[in-house]
């Protein structure tokens, strides 16, 4: 499937060249493209005007379809659907599906293409649940804490694991890392025992998920209890500190590695909602050593560029757009050092609150 999709993406990429106002022009093929990219694909991507290739370097287990979607009562995957999770680079920190990244980087560099690796720090479901590194989510319907499938960034063992994981990723020769926004840390996420104890130590009071009015999250309301905003602000800062600390440690041995952090559109259009729904705060991001903020492009950004320019440092913005949005992107004035990544979306709903 990826082999048939890549040429279509190459044809749709705009004939742009790196310039003073837009130095990064990236091509971001479908998630499984790394399995089929060859010299011919790379040549076509370079000839399209791109100077950067962004590839997903990890594969998670697909979720079995529900009965309404044609799934089985036992929750089995459809015939032919691969269930193994892992990565596409040499490492001892995760199962290796295929060791393809280092060779891809070598070939891409030979054609003057940077390679950026796209991966989520929370969505690593190859990690054995028996380790106890899972996040915990508050179920507002049952008023209970339940184990989540995402990674608990506040677990004391997780930062060490991530440093090892990303150090091996950087050793493949990639030029940058794009930290994907999904799965996000939602209003009901992040309530592990480690996080709750740390919050009580830092703030001086315990956190009771049952008192935060988390049921409001079901209808996307922001009418949470006052205690919620103290909690969510703390959670956002602490999780970001973990990510920034991990990348700082990795860059001690790989100082040239660039880091981009993806955020949801609401980080610009509705900052309060972004904080509540995704634990994202665009203004707070300026305090950390993050090279780029990757933001999904939308037409509303055209009228908010001044606001956006005040929210990020010069040259720190990467717009992530569909190739069909080329003309709209061209109408946006970008600062020197910023850029555009054209992503072929695998999900039609895109990176919005409706797509969660």
What are the residue ranges spanned by the domains of the chain? 2-63+81-355
**Residue 18, Cβ density class (10 Å: 0-12 exposed, 13-18 middle, ≥19 buried):** middle
Asked if the peptide bond before residue 183 counts as cis, ω within 30 degrees of 0, the response is yes
Number of neighbours of residue 78 by Cβ within 10 angstroms: 12
Number of neighbours of residue 133 by Cβ within 10 angstroms: 20
Is it the case that residue 82 has pLDDT exceeding 60?
no
Give the pLDDT confidence score for residue 182 in this predicted structure. 92
Q: Which of 321, 278, 280, 286 is nearest to 302 (CA)?
A: 321
Give the pLDDT confidence score for residue 63 in this predicted structure. 56
Give the pLDDT confidence score for residue 349 in this predicted structure. 38
Q: In the predicted model, what is the mean pLDDT of residues 294-303?
A: 77
| Beta strand 86-87 pairing with 144-151 | unpaired
- pLDDT one-digit tens code per residue, 24-54: 899 999 888 999 999 999 999 999 889 999 9
Q: How far apart are the C-alpha atoms of 344 and 341, rounded to whole Å?
A: 10
Q: How far apart are the C-alpha atoms of 301 and 294, rounded to whole Å?
A: 13
Q: In the predicted model, what is the mean pLDDT of residues 209-221?
A: 83
* Domain covering 2-63+81-355, topology: TIM Barrel (3.20.20)
Q: How far apart are the C-alpha atoms of 324 and 329, rounded to whole Å?
A: 10
Give the pLDDT confidence score for residue 96 in this predicted structure. 96
Q: In the predicted model, what is the mean pLDDT of residues 140-151?
A: 93
The pTM is what? 0.85
């Amino acid at each position: 499937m990826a082999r048939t999709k890549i040429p279509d993406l190459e044809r749709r990429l705009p004939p742009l060249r790196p310039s003073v106002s837009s130095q990064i022009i990236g091509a971001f093929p479908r998630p499984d493209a790394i399995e089929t990219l060859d010299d011919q694909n790379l040549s076509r991507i370079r000839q399209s005007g791109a100077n950067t290739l962004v590839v997903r370097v990890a594969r998670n287990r697909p979720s079995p379809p529900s009965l309404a979607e044609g799934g089985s009562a036992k929750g089995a995957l459809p015939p032919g659907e691969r269930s193994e999770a892992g990565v596409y680079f040499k490492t001892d920190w995760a199962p290796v599906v295929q060791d393809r990244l280092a060779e891809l980087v070598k070939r891409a560099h030979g054609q003057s293409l940077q390679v950026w690796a796209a991966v989520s720090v929370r969505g690593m479901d190859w990690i054995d649940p028996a380790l106890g590194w899972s996040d915990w989510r508050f179920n507002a319907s049952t008023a209970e804490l339940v184990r989540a499938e995402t990674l608990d960034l506040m677990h004391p063992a997780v930062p060490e694991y991530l440093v090892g994981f990303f150090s091996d990723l950087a050793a493949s020769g990639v030029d940058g890392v794009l930290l994907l926004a999904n799965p996000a840390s939602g209003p009901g996420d992040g309530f592990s025992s480690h996080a709750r104890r740390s919050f009580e130590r830092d703030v001086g009071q315990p956190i009771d998920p049952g008192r935060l009015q988390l049921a409001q999250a079901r209808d996307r309301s922001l009418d949470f209890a006052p205690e919620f905003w103290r909690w969510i602000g703390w959670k956002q800062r602490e999780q970001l500190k973990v990510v920034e600390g991990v990348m700082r440690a990795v860059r001690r041995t790989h100082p040239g590695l660039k880091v981009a952090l993806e955020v949801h559109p609401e980080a610009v259009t509705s900052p309060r909602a972004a904080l509540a729904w995704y634990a994202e705060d665009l203004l707070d991001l300026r305090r950390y050593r993050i090279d780029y903020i990757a933001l999904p492009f939308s037409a509303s950004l055209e009228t908010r560029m001044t606001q956006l320019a005040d929210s990020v440092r010069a040259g720190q913005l990467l717009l992530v757009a569909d190739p069909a949005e080329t003309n709209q992107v061209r109408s946006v004035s970008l600062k020197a050092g910023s850029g555009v990544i054209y992503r072929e979306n695998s999900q039609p709903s895109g990176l919005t609150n409706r797509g969660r």
